[in-house]
């Protein structure tokens, strides 16, 4: 027998991602369509602990589909790691009569949800909202496409000045543990080298090719680095290159949190709407602790505990393409 939900909560947790608002909108409107009461929980698990919870109506999510950030705000909540914090959160949900949750966030947020739902029998449905695209079980995560396009726009501009001066540019994009933003933005901007946490970098090769270019007096080269690459980001890569190319003009640009903001792209709005809708459908069907992903353009459901960081997702094919196209 599945327990029917009647009052559901929605929250955003972890790093924000463009498109989270579109997902919130989809959850609220699908819930209302089914006759549910929908509650917004502020600042992720923090709002559950502090009982910062409010009832949402259709109009609460009007005019937000195009907005970056999250109207529910977000946080990384330490207190929720501990059992007393989770108990407080549960008591507050019970007080509000909430009997199902939709969590929009990354793998850390899902780990918290899995613990919580096991302790308190609260159905939790997870949607991947992270610019890093590093969650196992989905080809898309909300915010990735926007972040990549933001990076591309910035890199294109830097490329103009790089080319005008014949310089080496090292551009750092986000991705503490994941190289997808670097890979996609690097390929799309014609980067000669892309450094990512998932692969060892043959720095000797890069240095030799730059020394070769220097001899030919054509020292222009674009390097895109994920912040979590083995050297520890663009500044560290610059130091290594400088040691070997003391006369070269090497500039660094760190794109930073600009990649997390801005109006979501069409793709991010669409996947957020689709995932938000299906998350509520899951609760309606009595599903517990499910991750709602999209694989090969079809909805794909896995147990929430399996929606962990996807470290092996970058294929050798992509790495080969980078190499061949840059030569």
Q: Find tokens 């739902």 and name the residue.
A: 117
Torsion over CA: 297, 132, 302, 280 (sign):
negative
Among 171, 147, 138, CA closest to 68:
147
Written as six digits, the tokens of 59 are: 């109009």
Q: Which residue is nearest to ligand F6P (CB)?
A: 15
CB closer to ligand F6P, 87 vs 199: 199
Who's near 263: CB < 8 A, 6+ residues apart?
Answer: 18, 66, 67, 68, 146
CB closer to ligand F6P, 131 vs 280: 131
Q: Cα separation of 204 and 108, whole Å?
A: 36
Residues 250-269 that bind ligand F6P (CB under 6 A): 260
Written as six digits, the tokens of 51 are: 């009982």
CB closer to ligand F6P, 131 vs 275: 131
Exposed (0-12), middle (13-18) or buried (19+): which is 111, by Cβ within 10 Å? middle
Position among 102, 114, 131, 272 found at the interface with ligand F6P (CB under 6 A): 131
Residues 160-199 that bind ligand F6P (CB under 6 A): 174-176
Position among 130, 146, 150, 221 found at the interface with ligand F6P (CB under 6 A): 130
Q: Cα separation of 84 and 105, whole Å?
A: 22
- Smallest gap from Cβ 46 to ligand F6P, in A, equals 14
Position among 172, 192, 227, 268 found at the interface with ligand F6P (CB under 6 A): 227
CB closer to ligand F6P, 105 vs 123: 105
Residue 132 appears among annotated catalytic residues: yes
- Smallest gap from Cβ 228 to ligand F6P, in A, equals 7
- Smallest gap from Cβ 255 to ligand F6P, in A, equals 11
- Smallest gap from Cβ 173 to ligand F6P, in A, equals 8
For residue 15, state whether it binds ligand F6P (rule: CB under 6 A).
yes
Who's near 87: CB < 8 A, 6+ residues apart?
Answer: 119
3-state helix, strand, coil in the chain (%, to 5): 45, 20, 35
- Smallest gap from Cβ 154 to ligand F6P, in A, equals 15
CB closer to ligand F6P, 14 vs 123: 14
Q: How far apart, in Å, do the first and last CA atoms of the chain sit?
A: 61
Out of 16, 107, 132, 268, the active site residue is 132
Residue ranges in contact with ligand F6P by CB under 6 A: 15, 130-132, 174-176, 227, 260
**Active site members:** 132
């Amino acid at each position: 027998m599945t327990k029917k939900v009647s009052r559901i909560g929605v929250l955003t947790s972890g790093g924000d991602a463009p498109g989270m608002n579109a997902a919130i909108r989809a959850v609220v409107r699908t819930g209302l369509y089914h006759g549910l009461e929908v509650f917004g929980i502020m600042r992720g698990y923090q709002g559950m602990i502090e009982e910062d919870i409010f009832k949402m109506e259709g109009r609460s999510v009007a005019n937000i589909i195009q907005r970056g950030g999250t109207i529910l705000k977000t946080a990384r909540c330490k207190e929720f790691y501990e059992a007393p914090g989770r108990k407080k959160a549960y008591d507050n949900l019970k007080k509000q009569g909430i009997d199902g949750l939709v969590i929009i966030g990354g793998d850390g947020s899902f780990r918290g949800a899995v613990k919580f739902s096991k302790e308190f029998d609260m159905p939790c449905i997870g949607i991947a909202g992270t610019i890093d695209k590093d969650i196992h079980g989905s080809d898309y995560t909300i915010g990735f496409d926007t972040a990549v396009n933001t990076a591309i726009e910035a890199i294109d501009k830097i490329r103009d000045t790089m080319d005008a001066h014949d310089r080496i540019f090292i551009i750092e994009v986000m991705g503490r543990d994941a190289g997808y933003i670097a890979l996609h933005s690097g390929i799309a901007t014609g980067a000669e080298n892309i450094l990512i946490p998932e692969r060892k970098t043959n720095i000797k090769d890069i240095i030799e090719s730059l020394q070769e270019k220097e001899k030919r007096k054509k020292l222009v080269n674009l390097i895109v680095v994920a912040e979590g690459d083995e050297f520890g980001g663009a500044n560290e890569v610059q130091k290594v290159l400088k040691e070997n190319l003391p006369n070269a003009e090497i500039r660094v640009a760190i794109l930073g949190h600009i990649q997390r903001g801005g109006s979501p792209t069409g793709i991010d709005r669409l996947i957020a709407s689709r995932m938000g809708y299906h998350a509520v459908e899951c609760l309606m069907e009595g599903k517990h602790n499910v991750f709602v992903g999209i694989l090969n353009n079809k909805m794909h459901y896995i147990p929430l505990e399996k929606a962990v960081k996807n470290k092996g997702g970058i294929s050798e094919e992509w790495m080969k393409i980078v190499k061949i196209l840059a030569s």
